[in-house]
């Protein structure tokens, strides 16, 4: 079987399995592109570490993130997508067919490639943060802030996104404690001013999170002031981490155009990258919206772009 794989030429290869990848697989299957999807390190993507999803259309009662991704996966399989375990570890886009290596082992050949490898939230790296992830610790205020209506919450971060999320939380939570590691913010002046002018946001400068306190839920956050070397606890119901995301684009360096943060660049209004036949969808190319519904929409675009490309090249 392995030998056959070496000679196998895939019409449409999809790398990654969040909302973007699975939606691309659904559309590509229905267009008879015979897509092969490799699920990657985290099948289902970031939604598998989310608990309740309430803002995805069509689920009036909300749905658990992992369950929703099982629905996406089943739908892609029912449409005929070939779903496989494995992670893309290398690429060679220098010639046709395009080449992608799986698990540092076998090389695949493909007429078209859809990249939907997503992004990973950056974390503080403390044990209690991981233990309570999904139980009051979250990397997405827009996704999870709603569950802490009229409660006190904390947010870590100092950039525009952190300010935006703090302002978002200030509208639904009783008080927002904003923890900033340095004695200044990276955020633009206008965003900083908005935060400072919001009465229910308190900014703590030169502050680090030592520990998230709680058993099965967040009860408080223990903070350390780097200036006067004191620790104290703030009672909160949630801790939001807003220190940035890392696009999972490492293996495409040198092949595809990306911005300084590593997000893949696509031609505006399309999913096309700078390499013909290679398309990008979802969070690996979207640092602005980063929602399941926008990722799914761009997965649809990538499949339609790939279908058109393959048709023009006679691989349809």
Report the pLDDT value the prediction gives residue 45, as an integer from 0 to 100: 85
Report the pLDDT value the prediction gives residue 315, as an integer from 0 to 100: 82
Q: Identify the segments of the chain with pLDDT beneath 70.
A: 1-7, 316
- The Cα 31–Cα 22 span in angstroms is 14
Q: Which residues are the active-site residues?
A: 140, 143-144
* Whether pTM exceeds 0.85: no
- The Cα 172–Cα 280 span in angstroms is 34
Strand partners, 267: none
Query: For residue 237, with 0-12 CB atoms within 10 Å meaning exposed, 13-18 middle and 19 or more buried, which class applies?
Result: buried
Q: Given CA atoms 91, 94, 99, 104 in this order, what sign does their dihedral have?
A: negative
Report the pLDDT value the prediction gives residue 290, as an integer from 0 to 100: 87
Report the pLDDT value the prediction gives residue 38, as an integer from 0 to 100: 97
Strands (E) located in the chain: 9-15, 35-38, 52-53, 63-64, 82-84, 88-92, 98-102, 106-115, 119-121, 137-138, 152-156, 175-179, 201-204, 207-213, 220-225, 230-235, 238-241, 245-247, 278-280
Report the pLDDT value the prediction gives residue 316, as an integer from 0 to 100: 65
Report the pLDDT value the prediction gives residue 5, as an integer from 0 to 100: 52
Report the pLDDT value the prediction gives residue 212, as an integer from 0 to 100: 98
- List the domains of the chain with CATH numbers: 2-120+245-312 (3.50.50.60), 123-241 (3.50.50.60)
Name the 3-class secondary structure at 67: helix
Report the pLDDT value the prediction gives residue 73, as an integer from 0 to 100: 97
Report the pLDDT value the prediction gives residue 6, as an integer from 0 to 100: 52
Report the pLDDT value the prediction gives residue 3, as an integer from 0 to 100: 38
């Amino acid at each position: 079987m392995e030998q056959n794989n070496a000679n196998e030429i895939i019409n449409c290869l999809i790398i990654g399995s969040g909302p973007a990848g699975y939606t691309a697989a659904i559309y590509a299957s229905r267009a008879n592109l015979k897509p092969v999807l490799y699920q990657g390190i985290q099948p289902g993507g970031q939604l598998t570490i989310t608990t309740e999803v309430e803002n995805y259309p069509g689920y009036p009662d909300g749905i658990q993130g992992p369950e929703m991704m099982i629905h996406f996966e089943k739908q892609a399989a029912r449409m005929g997508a070939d779903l496989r375990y494995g992670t893309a570890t290398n690429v060679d886009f220098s010639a046709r067919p395009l080449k992608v290596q799986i698990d540092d082992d076998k090389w695949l050949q493909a007429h078209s490639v859809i990249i939907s490898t997503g992004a990973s939230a950056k974390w503080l790296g403390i044990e209690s943060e991981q233990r309570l992830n999904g139980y009051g610790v979250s990397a997405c205020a827009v996704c999870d802030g709603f569950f802490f209506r009229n409660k006190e919450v904390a947010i870590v971060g100092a950039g525009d996104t952190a300010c935006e999320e703090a302002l978002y939380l200030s509208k639904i939570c009783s008080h927002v404690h904003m923890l900033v590691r340095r004695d200044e913010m990276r955020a633009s002046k206008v965003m900083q001013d908005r935060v400072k002018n919001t009465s229910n946001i308190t900014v703590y400068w030169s502050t680090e999170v030592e520990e998230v306190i709680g058993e099965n839920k967040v009860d408080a956050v223990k903070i350390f002031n780097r200036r006067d070397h004191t620790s104290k606890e703030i009672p909160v119901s949630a801790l939001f981490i807003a220190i940035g995301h890392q696009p999972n684009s490492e293996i495409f360096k040198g092949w595809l155009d990306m911005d300084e943060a590593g997000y893949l660049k696509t031609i505006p209004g399309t999913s096309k990258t700078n390499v013909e036949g290679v398309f990008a969808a979802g969070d690996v190319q979207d640092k602005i919206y980063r929602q399941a519904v926008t990722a799914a929409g761009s997965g649809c675009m990538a499949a339609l772009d790939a279908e058109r490309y393959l048709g023009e090249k006679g691989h349809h």
